[in-house]
């Protein structure tokens, strides 16, 4: 795309970014605040979902640029930040029978206006130099056996608890959020490592790496990979009577887009389905899947100069953790990701519900997280899920009387107060069963959807399994966690009464509310709002 073409697109971008009467402010707050009609507030990073497509393209198509990956200056282009800034981390998954472990990479889109190029592409002058927001967050999960890949997008307005984080540069300590805060604010609490910590706290999924990208280089990368086929079910023009919209204009059917038009597709909200960010995420998933298919079909791009510019722009736009801080490491990651065929890639959006102008995870979201934690393919094609093949713990369980168990009351929910006395009741049950060292934590209450037994280190895994076995808690609810100092039983909302635990029935199907899209689906088509057709 030429500089003139970029400039031509910017006024439309700024109209959508700076004045958008349908959505709330991107900087968020601890509680949702509904907007009044006609409320116009500054927006930051309206087009950020396009970055995830660019980053995924870079990772999956790494071999296409192999001839340029080892230039010394490319390594110097890459910016680095610590992986995890929180106080506690999700436990790493247990290797499967073949000694393999899953790989989880968090893709982050920052709306930082910290350079002339980022400011030109991002617009919104009033945000220049302000604290950046993580307005795009996508978790890429590569299965342990490298046969399938799952992607979970989290809406930027999701209300979460941001954990305590420490800025690695100046030592500033950001206390844990008081109540729930928009997830995109996590980036401003010390850097991408706090966004990683926020994800781990919410999902319990161990994250191995992050890749963060800013505005710069996106347009050049879109041009370098050539046209990407996209589909609309009717003529669409993303422009309303007040001038809002990306300006995308496409006739009904499937058409290749690149350059300015690809940029318009990736930022279009007005004109797609209900006009929300969720609809835009769906369009992003379609583009990403199509892009991956294009790159796999054309593994070698023909123009060496374009390849060199693509590599330079891509590395200049990246911030990564130390585990990915060279082009060689990024290339090795791309090699792993390329093992997955498009038909085994599943794109999803975290199931959510509206809370005022914001959203929050639903019960289906926890199910989606569990499937990823247990390395169960979201396409439902696993023949032998690893969760059914249990290995013996490193250390066997001690005698029941010697196992110290702390019992917590986790029966509080969003709508119900904690069931009184549950910690004491289940502690008494354990003592009757011979666990005479069990004790109740009677200070405060916790919120846990399902009963779980946690342990901090491998030498206590056998003890934790023994506690679960005696109570009838399934092995899948025994998990390692650095948030506990010993074997800890959390009585969940699924056990609010009685002394006999009955595990809720569960299936391993991806929730319909996750809006799953298969990577090989070349028939997917965006539904056009009749108000934006021509």
Quickly state the pLDDT bin for 333 (edges 50, 70, 90). Answer: very high
Query: Domain containing 103: what range?
Result: 3-11+46-385+515-532
Do residues 67 and 200 both lie within one domain? Answer: yes
Residues β-bridged to residue 488: 406, 454
In the predicted model, is pLDDT for residue 124 greater than 60? no
Do residues 178 and 79 both lie within one domain? Answer: yes
Residues β-bridged to residue 406: 439, 488
Do residues 216 and 135 both lie within one domain? Answer: yes
Cβ-proximal residues to 213 (8 Å cutoff; 6+ apart), any chain:
51, 54, 55, 107, 108, 109, 110, 317, 318, 319
At 220 the pLDDT is 58
Quickly state the pLDDT bin for 341 (edges 50, 70, 90). Answer: very high
Do residues 288 and 415 both lie within one domain? Answer: no
Q: What is the mean pLDDT of residues 392-407?
A: 90
In the predicted model, is pLDDT for residue 112 greater than 80? no
At 507 the pLDDT is 83
For 149-208, how does the pLDDT look when each residue is reduced to its tens digit (9 = 90+)? 999 999 888 999 999 999 999 999 999 998 889 999 999 999 999 999 999 999 999 999
Q: Is residue 376 part of a domain?
A: yes
Q: Is residue 32 part of a domain?
A: no
Least confident of 57-71, 189-203, 308-322, 508-522: 57-71
Cβ-proximal residues to 392 (8 Å cutoff; 6+ apart), any chain:
none
| Per-chain mean pLDDT for the chain | 81
Do residues 89 and 214 both lie within one domain? Answer: yes
φ/ψ of 344, rounded to 5, equals: -105, 15
CB 144 within 8 A of CB 336: no
In the predicted model, is pLDDT for residue 388 greater than 70? no
Q: Is residue 147 part of a domain?
A: yes
Do residues 144 and 267 both lie within one domain? Answer: yes
How much of the chain, in percent, has pLDDT values that exceed 70? Answer: 77
- 106 half-sphere exposure, CB direction, 13 A CA radius: 29
Question: DSSP for 477-488?
Answer: GEEEBTT-SS-E
DSSP state of 401: G
Quickly state the pLDDT bin for 56 (edges 50, 70, 90). Answer: low
Most confident of 301-305, 382-386, 394-398, 483-487: 483-487
CB 246 within 8 A of CB 13: yes
At 390 the pLDDT is 60
Q: Is residue 437 part of a domain?
A: yes
Q: Which helix (H) or strand (E) holds 232?
A: strand 228-232
Cβ-proximal residues to 16 (8 Å cutoff; 6+ apart), any chain:
43, 46, 244, 245, 246, 267, 269, 270
pTM value is 0.74
CA dist 34 and 357 (Å) reads: 5
At 302 the pLDDT is 60
Q: Is residue 33 part of a domain?
A: no
Quickly state the pLDDT bin for 295 (edges 50, 70, 90). Answer: confident
Residues β-bridged to residue 90: 481
CA distances from residue 195 to 83, 85, 143, 483 in whole angstroms, order as listed: 9, 8, 22, 18
In the predicted model, is pLDDT for residue 51 greater than 70? no
If one compares 57 and 64, the residue with the highest pLDDT of the two is 57
At 280 the pLDDT is 81
Most confident of 128-137, 192-201, 211-220, 504-513: 192-201
Do residues 172 and 307 both lie within one domain? Answer: yes
Number of domains into which the chain is organized? 2
CATH number at residue 116: 3.40.630.190
At 170 the pLDDT is 92
Q: Is residue 39 part of a domain?
A: no
Do residues 138 and 279 both lie within one domain? Answer: yes
CATH number at residue 413: 3.30.70.2390
CB 422 within 8 A of CB 491: yes
User: Taken in order 285, 315, 115, 140, is the CA torsion positive or negative?
Assistant: positive
Q: Is residue 504 part of a domain?
A: no
- The strand ranges marked E within 451-525 are 452-455, 478-480, 488-491, 517-518
Least confident of 39-53, 85-99, 127-141, 248-262: 39-53
User: Taken in order 237, 239, 240, 241, is the CA torsion positive or negative?
Assistant: negative
CA dist 240 and 223 (Å) reads: 28
For 494-510, how does the pLDDT look when each residue is reduced to its tens digit (9 = 90+)? 999 999 999 877 789 99
CA dist 68 and 308 (Å) reads: 6
If one compares 292 and 230, the residue with the highest pLDDT of the two is 230
Do residues 79 and 114 both lie within one domain? Answer: yes
Do residues 260 and 409 both lie within one domain? Answer: no
Do residues 287 and 418 both lie within one domain? Answer: no
CA dist 297 and 295 (Å) reads: 5
Cβ-proximal residues to 90 (8 Å cutoff; 6+ apart), any chain:
200, 203, 204, 205, 206, 207, 481, 482
Do residues 231 and 303 both lie within one domain? Answer: yes
Q: Is residue 155 part of a domain?
A: yes
């Amino acid at each position: 795309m030429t500089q003139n073409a970029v400039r031509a697109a910017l006024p439309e971008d700024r109209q959508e970014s700076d004045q958008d009467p349908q959505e709330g402010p991107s900087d968020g707050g601890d509680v949702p605040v509904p907007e009044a009609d006609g409320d116009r507030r500054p927006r930051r990073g309206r087009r950020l979902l396009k970055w995830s497509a660019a980053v995924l393209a870079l990772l999956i198509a790494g071999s296409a640029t192999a001839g340029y990956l080892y230039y010394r200056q490319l390594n110097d282009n890459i910016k680095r930040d610590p992986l995890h800034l929180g106080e506690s981390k999700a436990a790493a998954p247990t290797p499967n029978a073949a000694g393999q472990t899953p790989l989880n990479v968090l893709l982050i889109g920052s709306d930082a206006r910290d350079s002339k190029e980022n400011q030109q592409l991002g617009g919104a002058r009033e945000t220049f130099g302000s604290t950046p927001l993580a307005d795009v967050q996508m978790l890429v999960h590569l299965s342990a056996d490298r046969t399938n890949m799952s992607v979970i997008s989290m809406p930027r307005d999701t209300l979460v608890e941001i954990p305590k984080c420490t800025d690695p540069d100046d030592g500033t300590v950001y206390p844990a959020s008081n109540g729930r805060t928009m997830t995109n604010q996590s980036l401003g609490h010390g850097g991408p490592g706090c966004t990683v910590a926020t994800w781990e706290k919410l999902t319990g999924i161990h994250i191995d790496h992050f890749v963060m990208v800013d505005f710069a280089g996106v347009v050049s990368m879109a041009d370098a990979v050539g046209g990407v086929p996209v589909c609309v079910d009717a003529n669409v023009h993303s422009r309303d009577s007040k001038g809002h919209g990306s300006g995308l204009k496409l006739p009904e059917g499937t058409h290749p887009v690149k350059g300015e038009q690809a940029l318009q597709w990736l930022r279009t909200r007005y004109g797609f389905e209900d006009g929300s960010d969720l609809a835009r995420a769906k369009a992003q998933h379609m583009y990403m899947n199509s892009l991956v298919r294009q790159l796999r079909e054309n593994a070698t791009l023909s123009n060496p100069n374009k390849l060199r510019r693509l590599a330079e722009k891509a590395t200049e736009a990246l911030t990564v953790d130390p585990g990915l801080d060279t082009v060689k490491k990024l290339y090795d990651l791309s090699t792993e990701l390329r093992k997955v065929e498009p038909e085994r890639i599943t794109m999803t959006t975290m199931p959510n519900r509206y809370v005022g102008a914001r959203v929050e995870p639903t019960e289906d979201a926890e199910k989606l997280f569990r499937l990823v934690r247990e390395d169960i393919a979201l396409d439902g094609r696993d023949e032998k899920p690893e969760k059914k093949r249990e290995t013996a713990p490193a250390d066997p369980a001690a005698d029941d009387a010697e196992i110290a168990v702390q019992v917590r009351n986790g029966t509080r929910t969003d709508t119900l107060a904690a069931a009184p006395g549950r910690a004491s009741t289940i502690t008494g049950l354990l003592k009757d069963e011979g666990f005479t060292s069990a004790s109740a934590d009677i200070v405060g209450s916790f919120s846990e959807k399902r009963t779980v037994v946690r342990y901090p280190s491998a030498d206590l895994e056998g003890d934790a399994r023994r506690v679960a076995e005696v109570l009838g808690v399934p092995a899948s609810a025994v998990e390692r966690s650095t948030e506990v100092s010993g074997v800890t039983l959390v009585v969940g909302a699924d056990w609010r009464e009685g002394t006999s635990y009955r595990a809720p029935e569960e299936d391993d199907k991806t929730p319909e509310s996750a809006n799953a899209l298969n990577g090989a689906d070349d028939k997917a088509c965006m539904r056009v709002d009749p108000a934006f057709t021509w």
